[in-house]
Amino acid sequence: MIPDIQGQVPGTIDIVDRLAMFGARYDAAPNFPSESMSALIESGHHRWFAPQICGGLPFEDEAARCRTMARALREIGRGDLSIARLYEGHVNAMSLFECFGVPDQLHWLAKALDRGAWFGVWATEPSPGVQLTREAVPSLFGEKIFASGAGGLDYALVTAASEGEHRRLVIVRANEKVRADLSGWRVRGMRASVSGRYVLDDVKVEPDMLLGKPGDYDRDPRFTAGAWRFCAAQLGGIEALVTEIRRSMRDAARDDPVQRARFADATVAVRTAGFWVAEAAHRFASGHDDAVAVARMTRGVVEDAGFIVMEAAARILGTQSALDGQRADKIVRDLSLYLRQAGPDHARDEAAKALLDHDIWVEGERLW
């Protein structure tokens, strides 16, 4: 039985409220958000999307798994976008173990999850990238940047390449403080994601630390189409902001037809983005030929929705939307950074090329 992820953990308030409460603390004093991550273990989110043999939930099929994952990412995004970013990395790692893990690795993963271990996926790196030597016992050299959870997560799947080969995934410890550098993570939003640098020099790589084969991680459609996951997390933050606008609207704004129209536009934008996220998750689950194009379009739709809702917050709530300590201000700051992830303009342009070639919508409803 798949749990109702809208429900509550016995003896606790709703997970969204808990994450929002903890998030305000971590926004004021950025550190790895241990309390928030513990709350996700208590609520069950931590293990839901692990391979079933490792204690993950049983799903009827991949489509059901992605639908539930989208709901979970949106829910956590409504609580705190920094935590949603960390959680998205964790569920991505669980999916990669599902795809490429061998029995011994899955047995190890089950034990790590028993201990409450959190995982991330780190692929961004300065040139020339993280290198994997060809010695009898290979080593890693290089560093990752924008490594969310650096020094706080237990493990990360990092990409590394040997000369003449495509990059591959390596399982490494992510909690060695001496390797983490968070000094450059001086940002207005997403502070608790602690997305710093992590040095991998001289990390010895045993055979069981290699997950999959060279080229597995970057293979499409799974790689690019997987963007739907962070779109779902971003959508949760946008939903939270619409909710906060409604809660904080003064009577004068509620009586103003111009402000009501702005609120209606914000609601339409966030609901439209929800339809696209659901479609992108469905295309990903089915391995559809246009899963990549739909995911790229979804990024643009979610980005636009975020801009519309942030503008509505500024115009409807006025100064209140920018006051330090106000929930609306934190969500706006978080969204402003998160929506910049990985070249959104390039993604939209690539989607446009696909649309000019053919209609990516479902058969029977195509326009060309």
pLDDT tens figures, 236-282: 999 999 999 999 999 999 999 999 999 999 999 999 999 999 999 99
pLDDT of residue 4: 52
> Biggest alpha carbon distance in the chain?
73
Of 185, 183, 159, whose CA–CA distance to 172 is shortest? 159
Please state which of the ranges 45-49, 50-54, 132-136, 142-146 shows the lowest mean pLDDT. 132-136
| Predicted confidence (pLDDT) at residue 42 exceeds the cutoff of 90 | yes
pLDDT of residue 163: 87
Q: Is the pTM of this model over 0.85?
A: yes
Domain 222-357 CATH superfamily: Butyryl-CoA Dehydrogenase, subunit A, domain 3 (1.20.140.10)
- Per-residue pLDDT reduced to its tens digit, 310-361: 999 999 999 988 888 899 999 999 999 999 877 888 999 999 999 999 999 9
Non-local CB neighbours of 154 within 8 Å, separated by 6+ positions: 112, 115, 117, 118, 119, 173, 174, 175
| Predicted confidence (pLDDT) at residue 56 exceeds the cutoff of 80 | yes
| Predicted confidence (pLDDT) at residue 172 exceeds the cutoff of 80 | yes
The answer to whether 21 and 80 are in contact (CB under 8 A) is no
Environment class of 170 (CB within 10 Å of its CB; exposed 0-12, middle 13-18, buried 19+)? buried
- Per-residue pLDDT reduced to its tens digit, 140-149: 999 999 999 9
DSSP 3-state of 137:
coil
Please state which of the ranges 6-15, 192-201, 227-236 shows the lowest mean pLDDT. 6-15
Non-local CB neighbours of 291 within 8 Å, separated by 6+ positions: 221, 225, 280, 283, 284
The answer to whether 55 and 113 are in contact (CB under 8 A) is yes
Instruction: Name the residue type at position 265.
Output: D
pLDDT of residue 7: 41
Per-domain residue ranges of the chain: 15-211, 222-357
Residue-wise DSSP of 245-268: HHHH--HHHHT-HHHHHHHHHHHH
Pairwise CA distance, residues 320 & 162, whole Å: 52
Domain 15-211 CATH superfamily: Butyryl-CoA Dehydrogenase, subunit A, domain 2 (2.40.110.10)
Residue 275: Cβ within 10 Å count: 11
